Amino acid sequence: MSQDRIPVTILSGSLGAGKTTTLNHLLNESNDRDIAVLVNDMGTINVDAELIQDGTELTAENGVAELSNGCICCELQDDLRTEVSRLAREWKFDTLVVESSGISEPAPVARLFTTESRAAARYDVDTTVTLVSARQFRDFFDGEQPVERTETEDGETRPLSDLVIKQIEFCDALVLNKCDLVDDDELVEIKATLRALQPRAELIRTEHGRVSPDAVLQRGLFDRDTVADSAGWKRAMVDVDEHAEGGNGRGHDHSHEGDDHSNTPHDHRHPEEIYGVSSVAYRRRRPFRPERLANFFESLPDGIVRAKGTFWLASDDEWVMEYGQAGSSARVETAGRWIASLPEIDQKLYRDNRSDLRWDEEWGDRETKLVFIGADFDKESIVAALDDCVLTDAEMDADWATFENPFPQSEDGLLTVGE
């Protein structure tokens, strides 16, 4: 980190996770650190900023900036650039804490400080922190609970669990808050699941937002490329990429463990020994029969808490299909075109610039890559069920256009699954 730049801690977390309480605790316990705070709230009145000012000596005149009625990861980006530049120009402080709104994704906020801009010239992202409420997280993945939705920054309504997963997957420190609201067995399972979703981040367990400033301020943990690729499903996919040697590829299972930076003794057993939390990655070079795959997605076991990847459908050689699942909510959408479906001149251009692109002489880049993360699910059954969805030899020679296809078949297509 440059010595003349101000370190930035980005604090993310869903509504109700306890961000404002945590931030107030950090400010009150910061001792000799001079901290500036930028608070984002989706309402026209920035309630979080008022609560911070009420709980500390900071005010709008000496270190608290507030952005209201919008989200700093999208429509308030220009305002964020202006405000952080003003803070650096008018005040001297050791570190900046950006508390994003409960519906913000941290990646776009971090990107502001890592690209060419006035903000990037004065600041360096130091640590990205995601706060998770233990009780809320448990409820998100309880199959008996209704799917809770929120309106995102772009006006789309989507499951809150999906946003929580995005926040968990992009962070350097993962703070599990409100641990007193779940029992010990539930807590162990939650921790194991979080570790599977985000294997790299430091896991900090706490109650009432009591996090040590030394754990999340001026840590120097952020690395843009590392954090972007640190999600459990991405790491599992890298592993299956490394194992794939032409042909169809195989499904691989992965289990995760990591450090627990809590103030109480913790269990050193691997998560899979405790609650069977693990992942399986699936890769194949043969397309799915659409209606069989749709039935598979509708009948996933309850233990799956996260699934992600792209797949190849028979009857549609043009569109890459993307599957994303968080808890009881899942969706399929188109994610661009297969390179092999483009004109030959464009195919050559892509291939010349993508030395890592796996290419089949008959099918090009068309293939399936999916990862499933969960607790106490039968990995072999998942792989076998997916193999049953793949076209048989006889179906490979059939007219694929005759297959029933319930999935999106156009750009920006979207299908909600299993709700």
- State yes or no: pLDDT of 186 exceeds 60: yes
Name the token pair of 311.
């797949």
Task: Report yes or no: 67 and 83 within 8 Å, Cβ to Cβ.
Answer: yes
The dihedral over CA atoms of 9, 15, 17, 23, expressed in degrees to the nearest 10, equals 40
The DSSP line for 164-197 is HHHHHHS-SEEEEE-GGGS-HHHHHHHHHHHHHH
Average the pLDDT over 297-308 and give the result.
Answer: 89
Residue whose tokens read 């101000």: 6
pLDDT band for 276, please (50, 70, 90 cuts). low
- State yes or no: pLDDT of 339 exceeds 90: yes
Name the token pair of 308.
């992600």
What class has domain 232-417?
alpha beta
- State yes or no: pLDDT of 88 exceeds 50: yes
Q: β-strands 252-255, 277-284: how paired?
A: antiparallel
- State yes or no: pLDDT of 131 exceeds 70: yes
Q: What is the pLDDT of residue 244?
A: 57
Rounded Cα distance, 223 and 126, in Å: 8
What pLDDT, in 10s, does the model give residues 205-215?
A: 999 999 999 99
DSSP at 287: P
Average pLDDT, the chain: 80
Task: Report yes or no: 323 and 308 within 8 Å, Cβ to Cβ.
Answer: yes
Q: Which CATH architecture has domain 6-228?
A: 3-Layer(aba) Sandwich (3.40)
CATH 3.40.50.300 positions along the chain are 6-228
Task: Report yes or no: 200 and 171 within 8 Å, Cβ to Cβ.
Answer: no
Percent of the chain with pLDDT over 70: 74
| Range name among 95-109, 290-304, 338-352 with the lowest pLDDT average | 95-109
- State yes or no: pLDDT of 363 exceeds 50: yes
- State yes or no: pLDDT of 59 exceeds 50: no
- Smallest CA-to-CA distance from 296 within 285, 311, 286 is with 311
Q: What is the pLDDT of residue 208?
A: 94
The 3-state DSSP class for residue 314 equals coil
What pLDDT, in 10s, does the model give residues 373-398?
A: 988 889 999 999 999 999 999 999 99
184 versus 224: the higher-pLDDT residue is 184
Rounded Cα distance, 218 and 8, in Å: 8
Q: What is the pLDDT of residue 324?
A: 92
Rounded Cα distance, 127 and 200, in Å: 13
pLDDT band for 175, please (50, 70, 90 cuts). very high
Angle (CA) 80 81 83, round 5°: 65
- State yes or no: pLDDT of 151 exceeds 90: no
Average the pLDDT over 61-87 and give the result.
Answer: 55
Percent of the chain with pLDDT over 90: 42
What pLDDT, in 10s, does the model give residues 217-272?
A: 999 999 988 888 889 998 888 876 666 544 444 455 444 333 444 433 333 344 44
Task: Report yes or no: 231 and 197 within 8 Å, Cβ to Cβ.
Answer: yes
Rounded Cα distance, 298 and 296, in Å: 5
The 3-state DSSP class for residue 62 equals coil
Q: What is the pLDDT of residue 46?
A: 35
Amino acid letter, residue 180: D
> To which H or E segment does residue 98 belong?
strand 95-99
pLDDT band for 2, please (50, 70, 90 cuts). low
Q: What is the pLDDT of residue 251?
A: 54
Q: What is the largest CA-CA distance in the chain?
A: 74
Angle (CA) 340 363 299, round 5°: 100
- State yes or no: pLDDT of 80 exceeds 90: no
Spatial CB neighbours of 373, under 8 Å, sequence gap ≥ 6: 193, 196, 197, 232, 233, 236, 277, 278, 279, 304, 305, 306, 307
CATH 3.30.1220.10 positions along the chain are 232-417
| Range name among 117-126, 131-140, 210-219 with the lowest pLDDT average | 117-126
Spatial CB neighbours of 214, under 8 Å, sequence gap ≥ 6: none
How many CB atoms are closer than 10 A to CB 332? 23
Rounded Cα distance, 10 and 366, in Å: 38
Q: What is the pLDDT of residue 155?
A: 59
